[in-house]
Structure 1
Amino acid sequence: MSSFVRPRRSVLYMPGSNARALEKARSLAADGIIIDLEDAVAPDAKPGAREQVADDLARGGFGPREVVVRVNGADTPWFWDDLARFAQASAAGRGPDALLIPKIADPETLLAAGRRLEALGAPASLRLWAMIETPLAVLRALDIARAGANPVARLAVLVLGTNDLAKETGARIVPGRAPMQAWLSHCVLAARAGGVEVLDGVWNNFRDLGGLARECNEAADLGFDGKTLIHPTQIEPCNAAFIPPPEEIAEARMLIEVFDRPENAAKGVLQIEGRMYERMHADIARKRVALADAIEARG
């Protein structure tokens, strides 16, 4: 397991055409921001917004926040120009951490984008995120996630687009999201099978922080790594939901300490305080502790 852990509890969408919003992003407590060039920008404003975002990224100042640019879809006239501009920026050391590609329907789109980025000289550190927001994408989520095993695909994260899924299926977004539970769990399983992370979709009513908190807790229970957000007021309850509870971290540290004792080095199963633990439980504990330590280090 890599020693580098990147918290992705809260990832906030911000319009790429709003310079004031991007300035504010530098001081927000979100783990990451997604600068949107797709839905948030009118067609005739897209080329100008692309340059504005590239210029803003060159200024830096985002600190530990992960910076992602949502480019336009692969079926639009702006996609390849978006890739070229941010590949150029990344090659100069002034680009985003990742590009989020909307409406991914198959792994081939990721591979084509990855090959193009490589040809343009983008460093391997420029990753790709994939939006799962169509019925076909949900059905192919495993194939898309497993593309992450191929370095060409650069895949790091799946992002659920629940509003688009509701629109395309007719499913209602209701408290608890029962109509979507199977899809959400399927995408979490696909992400884990592919070795990539997965973020839940947005909560639309930014004034209902109680509802947001409940949905964040539900998403954490389902196994999501974090949630995408639409308003800065949503950051605090989201962060709180996805941080491992202190009692879990204390138990995890205890478990690691016991399994790491020299006398237990060859043991696969241990009895600790009346409970049986396998070595896989220690591996899970290490991931939780690494995440908690990374969050604490952010301050």
Structure 2
Amino acid sequence: MIPIRPRRSALYMPGSNARALEKAKTLAADVMIFDLEDAVAPDRKAQAREQVCAAVRAGGYGRRELVIRVNALDTPWGEADLAAAVAAAPDAVLVPKVSSAETLAAVGLRLRRLGAAERTRVWAMIETPLAILRAESIASAAHDVDTRLSCFVMGTNDLAKDTRARLMPGRAVMLPWLMTVLAAARAHGLDILDGVYNHLSDPEGLRTECEQGRDGGFDGKTLIHPDQIATANEIFAPAPDEIGKAKTIVAAFEQPENAGKGAISLDGRMVERLHVEMAKRTLALADAIAARSA
């Protein structure tokens, strides 16, 4: 099994806010997304780029995964953002408004020319109507090693803007798009993070939406405020009873009498070997979270 990296909580941090970049070193988020795009005004883009890349180079963020969201390559800032990010060597570069596999190929080509560290991966924002329609094609770019694609991030606010769909409680109109992109990501071995929850004064709404994302299969949730971290970390982690059941399933199939069986009866239900693989992943995620918290 490929080592699992917890991505329960991914907090956007405005790159123009030096205090926020420093505070990020104390927050319990699994992922820090240092934003050079939406959260930064045009006249502060250069300053934000310098601050973010200096912070990433300096380190001090422990086991947190560091991601730099650059501006799109077709903007006045995109090329400079990408070059500076490569020099800073974050864990990943988050590319906004990816609507085709060709965009990722272009980013990959530039990363190779810039001599990007092998460890630096590419994450793709899925936030346009075209991206939804082309989700499988975009996800398939992961098989081209030059793209470095490893994760999708849903941009639900931009998606709502471009489609004119309303972001309502329960996200009924958004769910078909979310699940389409999730299926594309899983078909090609990618992780995927849910979009942000906009209401800072509605903790129950956040909890409900996190539970919806978890139940739908997302690996975690993107966040806009530190107060949202604890909820995401709790909900996207295996619960104690899940861990207990997973241990029971693995142990049952390790018994000599079950070695050659494809399915067994356990606690009144049929359990197949596919459930063993699911259980092992649950335990691996729990172990990774424990190591992250140590």
Judge same fold: TM > 0.5, yes or no. Answer: yes
Report the Cα distance in structure 1 between the residues aligned to 2:115 and 2:188, rounded to whole angstroms.
Answer: 26
3-state SS, counterpart of residue 26 of structure 1 = helix
1:255 aligns with 2:249: yes
Q: Deviations over 1:12-32 (max 9, x none)?
A: 001001100000000001111
Which one-letter code corresponds to 1:19 in the other structure? Answer: A
Residue equivalent to 2:199: 205
Match of 1:177 among 171, 181, 189: 171
Which one-letter code corresponds to 1:150 in the other structure? Answer: D
Given that residues 54 and 88 in structure 2 are in contact (C-alpha distance below 8 angstroms), is that contact kept between their aligned partners in structure 1?
no
Given that residues 149 and 195 in structure 1 are in contact (C-alpha distance below 8 angstroms), is that contact kept between their aligned partners in structure 2?
no
Report the Cα distance in structure 2 between the residues aligned to 1:279 and 1:29, rounded to whole angstroms.
Answer: 35
Match of 2:129 among 135, 156, 160: 135
TM-score by length of 1: 0.95
Q: Deviations over 1:86-113 (max 9, x none)?
A: 21222xxxxx110100000011111221
Report the Cα distance in structure 2 between the residues aligned to 1:147 and 1:254, rounded to whole angstroms.
Answer: 38
How many residues of Structure 1 are paired with residues of Structure 2 in the alignment? 293
4+ runs deviating over 4 angstroms: none
Given that residues 127 and 158 in structure 2 are in contact (C-alpha distance below 8 angstroms), is that contact kept between their aligned partners in structure 1?
yes
Report how far residue 243 of structure 1 moved: 1.0
Given that residues 12 and 222 in structure 2 are in contact (C-alpha distance below 8 angstroms), is that contact kept between their aligned partners in structure 1?
yes
Residue equivalent to 2:139: 145
Q: How does 1:1-299 map to 2 (within 5 A)?
A: 1-2=1-2, 4-90=3-89, 96-299=90-293
Report the Cα distance in structure 2 between the residues aligned to 1:273 and 1:114, rounded to whole angstroms.
Answer: 50
Report how far residue 274 of structure 1 moved: 2.5
TM-score by length of 2: 0.96
Report how far residue 264 of structure 1 moved: 3.0
3-state SS, counterpart of residue 170 of structure 2 = coil
Identity among equivalent positions (%) equals 57
Q: Deviations over 1:255-286 (max 9, x none)?
A: 11222334433322222222211111111111
- For the aligned residue pairs, the C-alpha RMSD in angstroms reads 1.2
